[in-house]
Structure 1
Amino acid sequence: MALPSDRGVTGGTRSVPDAHPGADAAVVGAWLAEHLGDSAWLQSSLSPIGAGRSNLTYRVDSPAGAVVLRRPPVGEVAATAHDMGREQRVISSLAGTPVPVPRVLATSAGGPPVDAPCFVMELVDGIVPLGELPPGWATTEDERRRASQALVDVLVALHAVDHNAVGLGDFGRPEGFMARQVRRWNTQWEQARSAGIPVTEETVAELTRLADALAAALPATQRHTIVHGDYRIDNCLFDAADPGRIRAVLDWELSTLGDPLADLGLLLVYWRDADEHPIWQASRHIPSPTQLPGFLDRSDVARAYAAGSGLDLEPLPWYVAFGAFKLAVVLAGILARVRAGMVPVSMGAGLEGSVDPLVALGHHVLAEGLT
């Protein structure tokens, strides 16, 4: 589950100047020259994209052009969440559908070019909105409204794709999806705790109580669809000239078949309203520009999704509470990896104290709805 990093304007990214392990320009260039049939790739250079909290991403530049390389984290066994084969498969399968995705150019199951499964995809130019919008982009309220509507429309389009028709009928086990998700993230929480993250007994008790409440009130799934797993505004690359157009959806590492309302619920956890309950305000540890004038508010996003998808949103508070639970565990896991020295301290910047507010948000939404 990637977190906001250093994406910006050029090619949808801003490179991080510090060198990252996991890829060698000469080896990558030779591999690209062979697989793309152009010796100009031998003169390649690499620029890491993002902070590397999840799968690692590199921009590869050469006289032949520029592409993007994706690989799993260094030093970790590739679990499902870092499965490059799954990620490139879903992107390839969605090509030609109404869901905008980058084109996959080459894949490796292991060995060269990075001694791990990886794939290379086209570089798509555009804007990835973060906490502050780039100067000159989406400056009017109408442009921001269209950007947020485009975000909803693409999510509706994703959930309308016939997964069997695009060759993804075996991409997951949709039956019992949400029950497994609650168990999975509860297990992830236990692993983070065992790594020694500093949490109070109250935090443990409240997160356990939230997991139990979610497990006890599982909603009936209305539809099985492809789910992205981490759909939010900064995992989408918008057209630089037209804020109402999304050019590519990024970071598919958690995608599977499951309950589409899980995507909507997590999107609403990430969403920020200009005027919202203090409990929502306290959970603002992930940057988002959506509190700016013109963006749809959280309830408008939900209504627009309901209108496009035809799904009943009565159980939506449960999915939002689950999204808060899941994000709390994800952030706890990052802090645990920082504490264990598995990743740089910078990857935990701004995340200290993020777990309790998200757990409180989960309990609030279950009790009070989306107020």
Structure 2
Amino acid sequence: MSDDHPPGLDLDALRRHLDARLPGLVRGGLSARLIEGGRSNLTYAVTDGTGTWVVRRPPLGHVLATAHDMGREHRVLTALHPTRVPVPRTLLLCTDDAVLGAPFYVMEFAAGTAYRTAGQLAPLGPARTRAVVLGLVDTLVDLHAVDPAAVGLGDFGRPDGFLERQLRRWGKQLDASRSRELPGIDELHDALARDLPPAAAPAVVHGDYRLDNVLVGADDAVTAVLDWEMSTLGDPLADLGLLAMYSAPSGAADSPAPSTAADAPGHPTAAEITARYAERSGRDVSRLPWYTAFAYFKLAVILEGIHYRFTLGQTVGDGFDRIGEVVPRFIAGGLTTLEKG
């Protein structure tokens, strides 16, 4: 369903800007729909009835430009497009707030399906589900094989001290969201801090790499990697650790956890995903339990923040009332991963 007046997107202003910057691109009146699923930046599918494009802008009422840096997303997408990493082609970046009230960029529309739940994967069957997830791993290998300097991303981040900064950042986020006792979370943080892995050769890191942040085509291949707002230069095993964490079963069909895809029949185990990555990339994954435990810690902090905002009446919507109950599972998952590692 399209909307002539979607929130945060003035179609008349967008049309004037596109006509000025990319004359001939738009051939008819524009309509748009907000693409659901994003937790942060707003994403719209825009069409003139013939062509379709995607517009990304910060959330309404955003405050911190650094948290919703459209230029940064546009830059990494543009740099990666000529590589083996499937990303949409960017068309333009607008940093003038006068056009839409915030910076935005436009890219080509990529077809495909984002799979978030076991129920969505179930119709594929076990064999196709397995192929989709292993393709997700292979795409991650392709991303981490990109030479940042060769594609103009040599200064895209500060890889030195990456893991220390990440742990410190999420520790501060935890302190900002403390509203109840969370047994084990400080123990998990301290254990991670005591045993930081040595610095790895830096790579372009997605920062939130998981199945529902890519689109999968009818041939079960990844057609586009999306949601690059957390991307930087850093330790590539941070992406693999997160993917391994998301590959553990959620434990409940009605779980309010961010993803239940790993519950689908045929979904590879974390061990299989790790082995696939190691074989294809040639990287040493012997310290992966640390990265997976860190992913559990990070997600526990994020979910606790959502729970805290819910208790303050600042978050509404289905499932938010149950987010708090899954936080202890992530803490336990992190501690167990370290113990077994």
Superposed pair shares fold, TM > 0.5: yes
Q: Within the alignment, does 1:148 sit opposite 2:133 as a pair?
A: yes
| CA shift in 2, pair 1:83/1:339, >3 Å | farther
Shift of 1:284: 6.8
Change (3 A) 1:148 1:16: farther
Q: 1:35 to 1:69 in 2, by over 3 A?
A: same
Q: Is the 8 A contact 1:16 1:49 kept in 2?
A: no
Residue number in structure 2 paired with 1:364? 336
Q: Out of 357-366 and 160-169, give the one that drifted further.
A: 357-366
The question of 1:262 aligning with 2:248 is answered no
Query: 1:310 and 1:239 mapped to 2: Cα distance?
Result: 27
Aligned partners of 2:254 and 2:46: how far apart in 1?
39
1:238 to 204, 212, 216: 216
Change (3 A) 1:142 1:237: same
Cross-structure match for 1:218: 196
Aligned counterpart, 2:174 = 189
Change over 3 Å in CA distance of 1:223–1:304 after alignment to 2: same
2:22 counterpart residue number: 36
From 76, 79, 82, the counterpart of 1:90 = 76
1:264-319 Cα offsets, whole Å, 9 max, x none, are 1111111244xx9x7x9998712333332322211100100111111222211110
Match for residue 227 of structure 1 among 174, 194, 205: 205
Q: Kindly indicate whether the alpha-carbon contact (under 8 Å) linking 2:119 and 2:264 is maintained by their aligned counterparts in 1.
A: no
Q: 1:355 to 1:136 in 2, by over 3 A?
A: closer
Structure number with greater CO (CA < 8 Å, separation at least 6) is 1
Q: Which ranges of 4 or more aligned residues in structure 1 deviate by more than 6 Å? A: 280-284
- Look up the SS of the partner of 1:215 in the other structure: helix
Contact 1:338 1:347 in 2 (8 A): no
Match of residue 66, structure 1, among 49, 52, 57: 52
Per-residue CA deviation, residues 242-285 of structure 1 (Å, 9 max, x unaligned), is 11x11100100000000011001111111244xx9x7x999871
Deviation per residue, 1:181-231 (Å, 9 max, x gap): 0001111222233xxxxx422x1x532222121111101123210100000
**Which residue is 1:172 aligned to?**
157
Query: What residue number does 2:223 align with?
Result: 247
In 2, the alpha carbon distance for the partners of 1:216 and 1:200 equals 25
Letter in 1 for 2:153: L
Question: What's the counterpart of residue 7 of structure 1?
Answer: none
Conserved? CA contact 2:303–2:327, under 8 Å: yes
- Of residues 52, 61, 64, the one that matches 1:78 is 64
Which consecutive unaligned segments of at least 5 residues does structure 1 have?
1-14, 194-198
Residue of structure 1 aligned with 2:258, choices 250, 265, 286: 286
Structure 2 counterpart of 1:306: 278
Q: Which residue of 1 aligns with 2:95?
A: 109
| TM-score (normalizing by structure 1) | 0.84
Q: Name the amino acid aligned to 2:223.
A: R
The 10-residue stretch of structure 1 (153-162 or 352-361) with the greater mean CA deviation from structure 2: 352-361
Cα 1:355/1:38, change in 2 over 3 Å = same
Instruction: Give the match's secondary structure for 1:352.
Output: helix
Show CA shifts across 1:97-146 (max 9, x none).
0100001111111314321121111111111112145589633x332222
Q: Equivalent residue for 1:200?
A: 180
1:39–1:296 Cα change, 3 Å: closer
CA contact (8 A) 1:51 1:347 kept: no
Percent of residue pairs identical: 43
Size of the aligned set, in residue pairs, is 340
CA distance, structure 1, for counterparts of residue 25 and residue 86 of structure 2: 30
1:49 aligns with 2:49: no
Q: For residue 353 of structure 1, give the secondary structure of its aligned residue in structure 2.
A: helix
1:100 aligned onto 2:86:
yes
Name the CA shift for 1:104/1:212 in 2 (closer, same or farther; >3 Å).
same
Matched AA of 2:264: L
Contact 2:32 2:45 in 1 (8 A): yes
- Is the 2:136–2:222 Cα contact (8 Å) retained in structure 1? yes
In 2, Cα distance between the equivalents of 1:260 and 1:16? 39
Q: 1:358, CA displacement in angstroms?
A: 0.9
Separation in 2 of the partners of 1:92 and 1:189?
A: 34
